[in-house]
Structure 1
Amino acid sequence: MANIHDIARLSGYSTATVSRVLNRHPYVSASARAKIQAVIDQLDYVPSTMAQNLSAGKTRTIGVILPHTDHPYFQQLVTGILNAAMAGNYHAVILPSRYDQKLEEAYLEALRRHAFDGLIFTSHGLSLTTIAAYQKYGPIVVCEDPGRVKLAAAYAERTPAYRKAFEWMQAQGYTKIALLLSRSYAQSATSKLTINSYVDVFGQRPPHSLVVYQMRTFQDGYQAGAKLAPQHPDFILGNGDDIAAGVRQYFVDHHLPVPPLMGQENQLSSHLLNMSTIDHHVTAIGAAALKLALRAEVAQTVIQSDLILRD
Structure 2
Amino acid sequence: MANIHDIARLSGFSTATVSRVINQQHYVAPSTRAAIQAVIDQLDYVPSTMAQNLSAGKTRTIGVILPHTDHPYFEQLVTGILNAAMAGNYHAVILPSRYDQSLEQDYLEDLRRHAYDGLIFTSHGLGLRTIAKYQKYGPIVVCENPGKIKLAAAYADRTPAYQEAFQWMGSQGYSKIALLLSRPYAQSATSKLTINSYVDVFGKRPSDEMIVYHMRTFEDGYQAGARLVNEHPDFILGNGDDITAGLRQYFVDHHLPIPPLMGQENQLSSRLLQMSTIDHHVTAIGAAALKLALRDDIAQTVIQSDLILR
Specify the TM-score bucket, using the shorter chain as the normaliser.
over 0.9
Deviations 1:135-155 (A, max 9, x none): 111110000000000000000
Deviations 1:223-248 (A, max 9, x none): 00000001111100000000000000
Mapped to 2, the partners of 1:30 and 1:106 lie a distance apart of 49
Could you say which residue in structure 2 is the equivalent of 1:152? 152
Mapped to 2, the partners of 1:101 and 1:308 lie a distance apart of 36
Could you say which residue in structure 2 is the equivalent of 1:251? 251
Determine helix, strand or coil for the equivalent of 1:295: coil
Q: Report the count of equivalent residues.
A: 310
Mapped to 2, the partners of 1:17 and 1:109 lie a distance apart of 37
Mapped to 2, the partners of 1:23 and 1:51 lie a distance apart of 12
Could you say which residue in structure 2 is the equivalent of 1:61? 61
Deviations 1:111-142 (A, max 9, x none): 11111111000000000000001111111000
Could you say which residue in structure 2 is the equivalent of 1:235? 235
Identity, % of aligned positions: 84
Aligned alpha-carbon RMSD (Å): 0.5
Deviations 1:199-231 (A, max 9, x none): 010110011101000000000000000000011
Deviations 1:59-92 (A, max 9, x none): 1111000000000000000000001111111110
Could you say which residue in structure 2 is the equivalent of 1:197? 197
Deviations 1:85-116 (A, max 9, x none): 11111110000000010011011111111111
Is residue 2:298 matched to residue 1:298? yes
Alignment of 1:219-234 (within 5 A): 219-234=219-234
Deviations 1:255-290 (A, max 9, x none): 000001000000000000000000000000000000
Deviations 1:167-223 (A, max 9, x none): 000000001100000000100000000000000101100111010000000000000
Could you say which residue in structure 1 is the equivalent of 2:31? 31
Aligned residue type for 1:306: D
Determine helix, strand or coil for the equivalent of 2:230: helix
Aligned residue type for 1:60: R
Could you say which residue in structure 1 is the equivalent of 2:113? 113
Could you say which residue in structure 2 is the equivalent of 1:286? 286
Aligned residue type for 2:136: K
Mapped to 2, the partners of 1:297 and 1:73 lie a distance apart of 27
Could you say which residue in structure 2 is the equivalent of 1:181? 181
Mapped to 2, the partners of 1:283 and 1:3 lie a distance apart of 43
Mapped to 1, the partners of 2:43 and 2:293 lie a distance apart of 39
Q: TM-score, normalised by structure 1?
A: 0.99
Mapped to 2, the partners of 1:243 and 1:108 lie a distance apart of 32
Mapped to 2, the partners of 1:36 and 1:231 lie a distance apart of 79
| Structure 1 stretches of at least 4 aligned residues deviating more than 2 Å after TM superposition | none
Could you say which residue in structure 1 is the equivalent of 2:102? 102
CA offset at residue 25 of structure 1? 1.1
Is residue 2:143 matched to residue 1:143? yes
Aligned residue type for 1:240: G
CA offset at residue 296 of structure 1? 2.3
Aligned residue type for 1:67: P
Deviations 1:18-69 (A, max 9, x none): 1111111121101001100100110011111111001111111110000000
Mapped to 1, the partners of 2:296 and 2:161 lie a distance apart of 30
Determine helix, strand or coil for the equivalent of 1:120: strand
Aligned residue type for 1:107: Y
Mapped to 1, the partners of 2:154 and 2:297 lie a distance apart of 12
